């Protein structure tokens, strides 16, 4: 029997007037980090809200830490810490007021850890929410989520709008939270650096669909950029995994997904000379995926 799943989503559909989430599958094991990456409007926040039981899917099955959502959301939420970019605290109240509220709800609240987080995140209980900067507000939300010692942390764009120093603090605390082997994190971002830094698994969403979902190493390893010479502008081999082609004079650059050692041979067979094969960063994969997905969407619309 394998490691139990932190989150299991199967065939999730959700329709809005101007957007729909289509047949989304997403799962990852306890003790791992799943990063959701996608452009604005891809459906990341909707998916996370469905996982939290805050939005009901039109169809599909959602289980979080073994609890069916949204039916068993109360039991599940006792084990989840959720932070969203658009989440706000009560302006007229202090951080201490919010800490007392969360503490009164969660028996798992850890006073010592809360005090450590206050110190590490440079916050004070007496700080009024009204006077907090965006970065301090995110850190306060992070503290409230972490000090209850949840088994699953769900973060929706936690680092959006943060300066590099605060972003590092937030990411460091997310990493620290993983010292507990059983704790899992599901987080979304369009900042690919953040995703690349802490994720074990990556799911790429575009237009309400999962374009790719796999472990980070395989994900990064499956993409390559081939720099080739194509002096006679010969046609490229018809490979389904070509994602992007750029021809500039004699030089031809091709980005491929699902790379295998046989692929360079296909180009050599077509009369091209392969000069270099490079790995891609997640940012480059992200952009290439968006480019490809846009092309597919246009073709689909045209047909």
Which positions lie near other proteins, rule CB under 8 A?
A: 49, 52, 54-56, 70, 73-75, 77-78, 80-84, 86-93, 97, 101-102, 104-105, 107, 141
Pick 54 or 290: Cβ nearer other proteins: 54
245: nearest Cα among 258, 262, 233, 232: 233
- Distance from C-alpha of 163 to C-alpha of 14, rounded to nearest angstrom: 34
64: nearest Cα among 148, 150, 140: 150
Question: Least distance from C-beta 96 to other proteins, angstroms?
Answer: 12
Pick 55 or 239: Cβ nearer other proteins: 55
Question: Least distance from C-beta 185 to other proteins, angstroms?
Answer: 15
Question: Least distance from C-beta 161 to other proteins, angstroms?
Answer: 15
Tokens 């990456």, residue located = 37
Pick 130 or 233: Cβ nearer other proteins: 130
Q: Are strands 251-256 and 273-279 parallel, antiparallel or unpaired?
A: unpaired
Pick 40 or 104: Cβ nearer other proteins: 104
Question: Least distance from C-beta 207 to other proteins, angstroms?
Answer: 21
Instruction: Provide DSSP, 148-165.
Output: T--SEEEEESTTTT--HH
Question: Least distance from C-beta 55 to other proteins, angstroms?
Answer: 5
Pick 70 or 212: Cβ nearer other proteins: 70
Question: Least distance from C-beta 74 to other proteins, angstroms?
Answer: 5
Pick 53 or 226: Cβ nearer other proteins: 53
E strands present in the chain? 5-15, 20-29, 33-37, 59-64, 67-69, 80-84, 152-156, 184-189, 201-206, 209-215, 224-229, 242-248, 251-256, 273-279
197: nearest Cα among 181, 225, 220, 214: 220
Give how far the C-alpha of residue 252 lies from the chain's centroid of Cα atoms, to the nearest Å: 32
């Amino acid at each position: 029997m394998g490691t139990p799943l932190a989150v299991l989503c199967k065939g999730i559909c959700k329709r809005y007037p101007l957007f729909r989430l289509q047949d989304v599958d997403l799962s990852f094991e306890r003790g791992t980090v799943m990063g959701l990456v996608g452009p604005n409007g891809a459906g990341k926040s909707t998916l996370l809200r469905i996982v939290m039981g805050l939005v009901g899917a039109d169809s599909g099955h959602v289980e979080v830490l073994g609890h069916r959502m949204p039916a068993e959301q109360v039991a599940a939420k006792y084990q989840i810490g959720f932070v969203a970019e658009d989440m706000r605290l009560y302006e007229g109240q202090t951080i201490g007021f919010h800490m007392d509220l969360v503490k009164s709800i969660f028996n798992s609240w850890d006073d010592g850890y809360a005090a450590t987080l206050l110190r590490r995140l440079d916050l004070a209980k007496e700080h009024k929410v009204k006077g907090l900067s965006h970065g301090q507000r995110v850190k306060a939300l992070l503290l409230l989520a972490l000090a209850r010692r949840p088994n699953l942390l769900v973060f929706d764009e936690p680092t959006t709008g943060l300066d590099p120093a605060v972003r590092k603090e937030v990411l460091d605390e997310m990493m620290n939270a993983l010292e507990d082997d059983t704790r899992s994190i599901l987080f979304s971002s369009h900042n690919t650096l953040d995703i690349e830094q802490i994720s074990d698994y990556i799911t790429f969403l575009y237009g309400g669909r999962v374009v790719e979902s796999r472990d980070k190493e395989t994900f990064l390893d499956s993409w390559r950029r081939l720099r080739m010479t194509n002096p006679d502008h010969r046609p490229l081999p018809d490979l389904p995994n070509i994602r992007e082609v750029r021809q500039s004079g004699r030089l031809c650059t091709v980005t491929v997904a699902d790379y295998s050692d046989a692929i360079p041979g296909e180009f050599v067979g077509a009369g091209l000379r392969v000069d270099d094969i490079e790995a891609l960063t997640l940012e480059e994969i992200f952009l290439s995926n968006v480019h490809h997905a846009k092309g597919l969407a246009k073709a689909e619309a045209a047909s």
